[in-house]
Amino acid sequence: MATTESDVLDVERIREDFPILDREFGGEQLVYLDNAATSQTPDQVVDTIADYYRHTNANVHRGLHQLSQEASIAYEDAHDRVADFIGAEGREEIVFTKNTTESMNTVAYAWGLAELGPGDEIVLTEMEHHAALVTWQQIAKKTGAEVKFVPVDDEGYLDMDAAREMITDDTEMVSVVHVSNTLGTINPVSELADIAHDHDALCFVDGAQSVPHMPVDVQDIDADFFAFSGHKMCGPTGIGVLYGKEHLLEEMQPYLYGGMMISKVTFEDSTWHELPWKFEAGTPVIAQGIALAEACDYLDDIGMENVRAHGEHLAEYAHDRLTETFDDIRILGPPADDRSALVSFNLGTVHAHDTSEILNEFAVAVRAGDHCTQPLHDKLGIAASARASFYIYNTTAEVDKLVEALEATEELFA
């Protein structure tokens, strides 16, 4: 059983970068365990945004004036930094979007509408976030393609035998979540990409919950497309990333049209700017992009292997403490020692919303609901679950506080 504090991170030091963690509610210090929804933002990233607006703010790719040149260089360099963070070849493969959802929609519209038709199949998994599930479902309706779902077994793992049977020569796209935001399952995405490629299908990996928590190399995975959000990895809101293999992005038509993404425009027709700008129409997410690059620096300074070890340690500790403390608790997903940095659960018959309300009285912030995985909750036979999700600044003492607050919740509803 995991009982000792993770010694891979100097958590006390890290917490100094996050003054928000000192906030108190009703005299209790905040215990922030809603990191899978959004992580907190360190001073270094906040300062980068403030510095940008104080000293460098200008539109990019336009003016020949000095400020615009400086902003343009910083914005373009941010693409290189993010490319390096996930092992992409270069900035051509990194499109800045608003979030994971927009990255998904970009491919669904730009690639899916053009390439899919009746007889084609899109293979998803039962644990997809609505960002993938709803998007591909709607693209399927528009194109006549069919959506299939790889089942999730009782332990929260994908049924890989079923996946091998379901992915066939009719499959055009396999879209799979790397780490489930509800179950904490870490999926074998590289194997799924291989299976997809054996059938000449493409593989889209939703990395919203993996990039913040573990080293990711998109080339090792051999993903064709890969998406994640800045706000779950110490970055700001309002920025997401779409990685795409260069030759695929080259072949795709843009999703949004307008300024910045064009090369030559006449009254009759237009041609497109080079990658990645072809997919970044209008004034882009300049401050957010530059701040995301800073977030990559921040996480790399800590070390992504250490980030991973710490988060998994806390999840294991929480899983163990919850199972040993409560007779009547249902924890979703894989065993304690094989999950990413989160634990979703239901305490007896207490509704998850009630649980989170009581926890809030103790200043313990968790998420309650379906976590944008309604069909998965339906399959599990529950309407909602409570979820504690961890990051670099959380401690086992905070998990203990969660458990204490849950003991009070159980008593209240006994």
Q: Which is nearer to ligand 7TS, 2 or 94 (CB)?
A: 94
Min. distance of Cβ 167 from ligand 7TS in angstroms? 20
The answer to whether residue 234 is catalytic is: no
Q: Do β-strands 31-32 and 121-125 pair in parallel, antiparallel, or remain unpaired?
A: unpaired
| 8 A C-beta contact, residue 289 and residue 239 | yes
Q: Which residues pair with 179 in a beta bridge?
A: 186
CA–CA dist 151, 131 (Å, integer): 18
Distance from chain centroid for Cα 358: 27
Q: Which of 203, 234, 296, 372 is catalytic?
A: 372
Q: Which is nearer to ligand 7TS, 36 or 336 (CB)?
A: 36
HSE on the CB side for 71, CA within 13 Å? 25
Question: Whole-angstrom distance between the N-terminal and C-terminal Cα of the chain?
Answer: 28
Instruction: Name the helix (H) or strand (E) containing 225.
Output: strand 225-229
CA–CA dist 403, 318 (Å, integer): 8
Which conformational region is residue 102 in: left (phi greater than 0), alpha (psi within -120 to 50 degrees), or beta?
alpha
Q: Which is nearer to ligand 7TS, 2 or 176 (CB)?
A: 176
CA–CA dist 349, 129 (Å, integer): 25
Q: Which is nearer to ligand 7TS, 133 or 252 (CB)?
A: 133
Q: Which is nearer to ligand 7TS, 36 or 399 (CB)?
A: 36
Q: Which is nearer to ligand 7TS, 74 or 177 (CB)?
A: 177
Min. distance of Cβ 266 from ligand 7TS in angstroms? 36
Residues that bind ligand 7TS (CB under 6 A): 36-37, 99-101, 129, 131, 177, 181, 206, 208-209, 229, 240, 367, 371-372
Cα-based torsion angle of the residue sequence 285, 290, 293, 297 in order, rounded to the nearest 10 degrees: -150
Burial of 382 (0-12, 13-18, 19+ CB in 10 A): middle
Active-site annotation, residues = 372
